[in-house]
A and B are shown apart, each in its own frame.
Chain A
Amino acid sequence: MSSDQDHLKETDTEARFEFKKDENAAVKSDKGLTEEVIRMISEDKDEPDWMLERRLRALEQYQNMPMPSDWPGMPDLSELDVEEIIPYIRPDVDKREGVDDWTELPDDIKDTFDKLGIPEAEKNALSGVGAQYESEVVYQNMQEQWEEKGVIFCNMDKAVQEHPELVKEHFMTTCVPPSDNKFAALHGAVWSGGSFVYVPEDVTVEMPVQAYFRMNSEGMGQFEHTLIIAEEGSEVHYIEGCSAPKYGTHNLHSGGVEVFVGEDAHVQYSTVQNWSKNTFNLNTKRAICEAGGTMEWVSGSMGSKATMLYPCTILKGRGATDTHITIAFAGEGQDIDTGAKVYHNAPDTSSTIESKSISKDGGRTNYRGLVHIADGAENSSTAVECDALMFDNESTSDTMPYMEIEESKVDVAHEATVGKIGDEDIFYLQSRGLDDDDAKKMIVAGFIEPITEELPIEYAVELNRLIELEMEGSLG
């Protein structure tokens, strides 16, 4: 660990994530989902008519779609009442589009992100940072060197105003249309904030671009939209971090992520998700990958009460590649239902999915994955590997992969293993002088290493600390 990481060591991780702030709201919508609320959000953002129309169409689709109910073993969503969720809160920030100087933020918001370590992270390792508080991006900055090359990194609301052609073409049209699922429709109606990333042809953004999403108010929903367009031959790594303090009522996070990977472009999308344990995390994330392009999803799902999230890649062009690396950790009362979807729609495409999960204290993890190889996607290959570690007998670990193979010239392999933490491994480490807790922590750290090594050190450290936190003191 380098000295750059000292701020992570110094702050108590739990305190960093769980502290709460008094509500800071300039504009706050009513609870529930009505046309009035949608019009109010759109008006408050001074949106063009076409965006309002898209929102209203999505609302109609939302109202016409049933809640998912017939998935085997799906998380219990009965406590989720969308009508009780406040879909929009604009924090009280002077400049509507957020500020680009950290010192201009109101103290309480600045304090929040300081505690989360955002400014230091930016200073040390990142090309640009966006920070979203409730429904709005409050801070956005992009280093000049990338701006000069034509890279755009701004909040989504600003992109609607300043880059309407790009947004009009890509926003919830081909990648994640609102008709995709009930929560995509919900997102399409009430989305607010999020990031817009545009990387021109042949530009490589060498340092990761980061966005941080923070939910602070009780009973709110956060619906940020992330749109990434990587033109031919370009390269970018986008990282998002999410957190929310814990409240008595339920929060809803229903984000939308759309990634367009141009020919031979390379996009990595990394997430460390640590929503509070009353949050329903129901996201739709999807990438469309053109010929020769590479899409990499790296995600760590730690928090939330229930997560249903299956990042999806459509391998559209010949020779496109997809990589999924995911880790899920479910503790007491948590149901983390996550996995990956890959559609091989062109020849010579390949994908690998590596999924790790840990369940303890009655938590449930499930790998739910779909690999579809279309007729004509010859010479495609996919390898799926799931490993689950269980700590105790109250916990549950499931694996539900689905494979639809319509093409014969393919190489498809799936394997999964489940096991308890090895008594022999623990004995070995104890015989080398470690106590029981430390031995288990070390085994877990080794178990999740494939993902931490894909993350920038900042996030890897954070992920390790989160897992340590989850495991502290309660090991059986």
Chain B
Amino acid sequence: MSAGTQVHANLTEEQVREISGGLDEPEWLLETRLEALEALDSLDMPDVIKTPGREWTDLHELDFESLVDPLNAAENKDQIGPDEADVLSWADAVQEHEELLKEHFGSIVDPQENYLTALSTALFSTGTVIYVPEGVDAEDVTVRTEQNSRSLFNYTLVVTEESSSVTILERQSTGEEAEEQYYSGVVEVAAGENSYVQYGSLQNLSEEAYNFTVKRGVTDTYATIDWIEGNLGTQLTKTEVSTELRGDSSETQIVGAFYGHNDQHFDLDAKVWHRAEHTTADLVTRGVTDDVARSVYEGVQDVGADAWDTSSYQRENTLMLSDESEADASPKLIINNHDTEASHSATVGQIDREDLFYMTSRGVDPRAARNMLVEGFFVPVLEEIDVDELRDDLEDLIGARLRQRD
């Protein structure tokens, strides 16, 4: 079903023109926005998993009429990076890198892929462009976004030239809290030949907020894109992290960590498309559900017919801390080339009773023992993080959330 009419009353072409004009955007970009706006009527919500009798995530619950307020966006943003690389606000990037934008904007995530990507394309008012020239190693690029308005639409583009590398930490949090907020983010990463990108994200928005994000990368030959995806905030998150391995011998890793409590709902997709020879993917996600929180995980490893000599691995583990929480998972393999080594595994369970017994028998207080075991559960994920700040913060947030428990 198309949900386009839900929001249209609130959105006008004039608003889109005003946003684009305020950023001094070229005509082609305005056109792209207007086309996306017009397409809203005919686009569907992003796909969600359905099994007999249930839809795993009900996006139609979102009341866009009251959530979207495009002309009153407000935020605090830090966009920091080393001198050798360009880390630019959207307004600066429009002035300085129009050719780069023209080449890449909307080329990886189709603006009209679904209703929410089109909404994001039409209305985004803030963003970051990270450009790493050939041979440059750019460490510690940091983008912090603090949302201070009802809705915020954010766009990020990362382009790495041949043999360069970059580590990026992106964080989203809520400053001024409105009753309900909507954060929407689209991230496109184009990894040039033999370049390396680690894109870490820590989403810690208010628990009143709704969040929709798509992060997608494409690799050139020998390139690597590693994603770290941390999700702690919001009442409803629908997010996809994915890589299209388009260049021979390219690689990707998608590492996820989430911790849902209260009545949070996380719908997390990790996807990889093997579209070249000798490509490798490793997907690792670990998460906790507590109280009446619910996690929905879909992992897809899609091996195309031309993807000879593919290696593709996926693991997903969920720890349930309460009886009322729910953990749903669907790790899918789609294999069209037989020269493939692929596996996936998924587990759901609670804290191992023997481990708990062992620790309490050594004199550790049961609550501390449980917290240590949960923290230990996340270690395999934390180990994959290159950026210290991201690893430490994620660890601290998990620890703090655990200590909130009774």
Q: B333-377: contact bitstring with A at CB < 8 Å (1 yes, 0 no)?
A: 111111111111111111000000000000000000000000000
- Taking a contact as CB atoms under 8 Å apart, the answer to whether A405 and B346 are in contact is no
Contacts of B50 in A (CB 8 A): 70
- The residue in chain A whose Cβ has the minimal distance to the Cβ of B54 is A404
Q: Say if the beta carbon of B330 comes within 8 Å of chain A.
A: yes
CB within 8 Å of B: which A373-422 residues? 375, 378, 388, 390-393, 395-420
- CB contacts (< 8 Å) of A409 on chain B: these are 323, 350
Task: Known A408-B322, A415-B343; judge A397-B348 contact (CB<8 A).
Answer: no
**A358 CB to closest chain B CB, in angstroms?**
11
A73 at the interface (CB under 8 A from B): yes
Residue of B nearest to A385 (CB): B345
Complex CA gap A407/B327 in Å reads 9
Q: Please name 13 further chain A to chain B contacts, defined as beta carbons within 8 Å, in addition to the given A378-B323, A405-B329, A412-B346, sorted by A numbering.
A: A372-B51, A388-B335, A397-B333, A399-B331, A399-B333, A408-B321, A408-B323, A410-B348, A415-B343, A417-B342, A418-B342, A418-B343, A419-B342
B327 touches A405 (CB 8 A): yes
Say whether A370 faces chain B, with CB atoms less than 8 Å apart. yes
Please name 6 pairs of A and B residues whose Cβ atoms are closer than 8 Å in the assembled complex, sorted by A.
A388-B335, A393-B305, A400-B330, A402-B49, A408-B350, A415-B345
Chain B's nearest CB lies how many Å from the CB of A213? 27
Q: Give the B-binding residues of A (Cβ under 8 A).
A: 70, 72-73, 370, 372, 375, 378, 388, 390-393, 395-420
Shortest 4 CB-CB contacts between residues of A and residues of B: A390-B338, A408-B320, A415-B345, A412-B348
Residue of A whose beta carbon sits closest to that of B312:
A418
Cα A378 to Cα B323 in complex, Å, equals 9
Q: Is the CB of B345 within 8 A of A416?
A: yes
Give min CB distance, B272 to chain A, whole Å: 14
Across the interface, do B342 and A375 meet the contact criterion of CB distance under 8 Å? no
B325 adjacent to chain A (CB < 8 Å):
yes
Looking across the interface, which residue of chain A has its beta carbon closest to that of B328?
A: A404
Known: A405-B348, A415-B345, A417-B343. A400 touches B323 (CB 8 A): no
Contacts of A400 in B (CB 8 A): 330, 332-333
**B321 contacts across to A, CB distance below 8 A:** 408
Q: Which listed residue (B52, B324, B341) contacts A370, Cβ 8 A?
A: B52
Rounded to whole angstroms, the CA-CA distance of A392 and B336 in the bound complex is 9
Q: Which of B320, B326, B333, B347 has the most CB of A within 10 A?
A: B333
CB of A370 within 8 A of CB of B51, answer yes
Contact A404 B51 (CB under 8 A): yes
Q: A72 to B325: give the CA distance in the assembly, Å.
A: 27
Number of A-B contacts (CB under 8 A): 117
Expressed in whole angstroms, the minimum distance between the Cβ of A243 and any Cβ of chain B is 29
The residues of A that contact B326 with a CB separation of less than 8 Å are 404-406
Interface residues of B in 291-339 (CB under 8 A from A): 305, 318, 320-339
- Report B55 CB to chain A, min CB distance, Å: 11
Answer whether A398 and B339 are a contact pair too, CB < 8 Å, given A404-B51, A406-B326, A412-B348: no
Q: How far is the CB of B402 from chain A (nearest CB, A)?
A: 16
Q: Is the Cβ of A396 less than 8 Å from the Cβ of B335?
A: yes
**Shortest beta-carbon distance, B249 to chain A, in Å?**
19
When chains A and B are docked, how far (Å) is the Cα of A474 from the Cα of B324? Answer: 53
Contact (A418, B348) CB under 8 Å given A70-B50, A408-B320: no
Known contacts A410-B350, A413-B345, A418-B342; A403 and B330 CB within 8 A of each other = yes
* Min CB–CB distance A146 → chain B (angstroms): 37
How far apart are the CA atoms of A388 and B340 in the complex, in Å? 11
A419 touches B344 (CB 8 A): no
Separation of A417 and B340 alpha carbons in the complex (Å): 10
Once the chains bind, are A399 and B344 in contact (CB under 8 Å)? yes
**Could you tell me if B345 and A414 are in contact, using CB atoms closer than 8 angstroms?**
yes
- Whether A375 and B323, one on each chain, are in contact in the complex, defined by CB atoms closer than 8 angstroms, is yes
- Known pairs A409-B350, A410-B349; A416 contacts B325 (CB<8 A): no
Known A-B contacts A403-B328, A406-B326; the reply to A393 vs B338 at CB < 8 A is yes
Give the residue name and chain of the B residue nearest to A372 (CB). B51
Q: Which of A372, A378, A398, A406 contacts B334 (CB 8 A)?
A: A398
Task: Kindly list chain A residues whose C-beta atoms are within 8 Å of the C-beta of B341.
Answer: 418-419
Interface pair B347/A412, CB less than 8 Å apart: yes
Q: A70, A370, A393: which contacts B339 (Cβ < 8 A)?
A: A393
B350: chain A residues within 8 A (beta carbon):
408-410
In contact, A420 and B339 (Cβ under 8 angstroms): yes
| Residue ID in chain B nearest A409 by CB atoms | B350
Within 8 A of A (CB), among B9-33: none
Kindly state the separation between the CA atoms of A387 and B380 in the bound complex, as whole angstroms.
Answer: 26
What residues on A are CB-neighbors of B344 within 8 Å? 399, 414-416
A391 near B348: Cβ-Cβ < 8 Å: no
A345 to chain B, nearest CB (A): 14
C-alpha gap A420/B339 in the complex (Å): 6
Question: A402 near B320 (CB under 8 angstroms)?
Answer: no
Contact B331 A375 (CB under 8 A): no
CA distance A410 to B321 in the complex (A): 11
With CB as the reference atom, state the residue of chain B lying closest to A341.
B52
- Which one of B49, B322, B335, B341 has the highest number of Cβ atoms from chain A below 10 Å of its Cβ? B335
Indicate if the CB atoms of A414 and B347 lie closer than 8 Å: yes
Contacts A393-B305, A393-B337, A402-B49; A414 near B328 (Cβ below 8 A): no
Contact across chains for A418 and B340 when beta carbons are under 8 A apart: yes
CB pair B328–A402 under 8 Å, yes or no, is yes
In the complex, residue of chain B having the shortest beta-carbon distance to the beta carbon of A364: B336
Nearest A residue to B296 via CB reads: A404
What is the CB-to-nearest-CB distance from A181 to chain B, in angstroms, rounded to a whole number?
A: 9
Chain B residue nearest to A400 in the complex (CB) = B332
